[in-house]
Amino acid sequence: MITVVGSINADVVLDVSRLPLPGETLIADSIDVHPGGKGANQAVAAARLGAAVAFIGAVGTDAYAATAVAGLREAGVDIDRVAVVPGPTGQAYVTVDGRTGENSIVVVSGANGHVNEALVRSHEDLLGRTDIVVLQGEISAEAIAAAAASSRTARLVLNLAPVIPLGHEVIRRADPLVVNEHEGRLVLNLLGRGADELGTEEDIVGALHAAGVPAVVMTLGAAGAIFSEGGPVFRAPAPAVSAVDTTGAGDAFVGALCARLSDGAPLGEAVRFAVRVGSFAVTRRGAQPSYPGPGDVLPEGAR
Ligand code: ADP
């Protein structure tokens, strides 16, 4: 069983002909409101692919709370441990460039800011018997540390996005750490290592190992991903697809990775599958609405 400890948001998605410049006002072509948040997205992606998933997190008392949990509920995620706290639900304002699929995002933490050590510790029973615990950087470092401490026997999948200051011992338990190149460099800095001289993506993965991280997966957008468990660094190229909206592709990747790992797949097989799921997700709009279910055909081959 997979337990996600993380963020739940309502995503307000604005379609524009190009991303606004500083100080500029643009008229959006359309607006959509979807359930989102990195934690919720990853839980939904894993559950749609057949994994048993439980969620620890929080929503607020506003009208967005129902929207935010709707995706989790529809996907069959266990939401009994989603707390309701006074104040706003987490929200993300996503602007998507209609031509390139590129986005820019502003996040309001809202109820996700209430996911603290005490809340996480109150679910020690679940964390103590779960196989995989999935964590992201949209909840506090204290909550992440508590989740890691409460799940000593679980495999920790740490998607440190965004990168927030975290104790070295938590980062070194990541099996795997999932980051993009930019995040990989920031995690190296957290571990007290310089990253400026590292030229290639493989160099960053190697340096993370040298800093004590046992397994590393780095997503590379249209190029797919690379991964290593301490030996050589392998490539998992992405299929050639036409990207419509990259929002939540990284979360689709992490959810799919965890779904395969919870089936007992080796890391390499799980990464290759996750790349195809991520590439599927960019061909549809939104985050959770873009994730594949059992009836969907994933793209094949490499670009
Ligand atoms: P993040 O948004 O977290 O940085 P990435 O952009 O690396 O994540 O995307 C995660 C995964 O989504 C990639 O590994 C790949 O499988 C898929 N992906 C992202 N962008 C594209 C694209 N333009 N074409 C095909 N696949 C993509």
Q: Is the pLDDT of residue 18 over 90?
A: yes
Is 251 in the active site?
A: yes
User: Each residue of 176-220: pLDDT tens digit?
Assistant: 999 999 999 999 999 999 888 888 999 999 999 999 999 999 999
Q: Can you tell me the mean pLDDT for 17-37?
A: 95
Which pLDDT belongs to residue 288? 94
Question: Which is more confidently placed, 101 or 242?
Answer: 242
Which pLDDT belongs to residue 101? 77
Q: Using DSSP, state whether 268 is helix, strand or coil.
A: helix
Which pLDDT belongs to residue 98? 86
CA of 219 to the centre of ligand 1 (A): 7
Q: Report which residue type is found at 77.
A: V
Q: Which one of the listed residues 97, 196, 251, 296 is annotated catalytic?
A: 251
Best residue among 279, 284, 300 to mutate for probing ligand 1's pocket (most ligand atoms within 8 Å of CB) is 279
Q: Are 287 and 247 in contact (CB under 8 A)?
A: yes
Atom 21, ligand 1: residue with shortest CA distance: 222
Q: Are 277 and 269 in contact (CB under 8 A)?
A: no
Which pLDDT belongs to residue 245? 84
Q: Can you tell me the mean pLDDT for 221-228?
A: 97
Which pLDDT belongs to residue 286? 83
86: DSSP letter: S
pLDDT, the chain, mean = 95
Atom 7, ligand 1: residue with shortest CA distance: 221
User: Each residue of 55-102: pLDDT tens digit?
Assistant: 999 999 999 999 999 999 999 999 999 999 999 999 999 898 988 878
| Ligand 1-lining residues (CB < 6 angstroms) | 161, 180, 219-222, 224-225, 238, 241, 243, 246, 249-250, 253, 275, 278-279, 282
CA atoms within 13 A on the CB side of 136: 25
Query: For residue 100, what are the contacts with CB-CB under 8 A and spacing of at least 6?
Result: 243
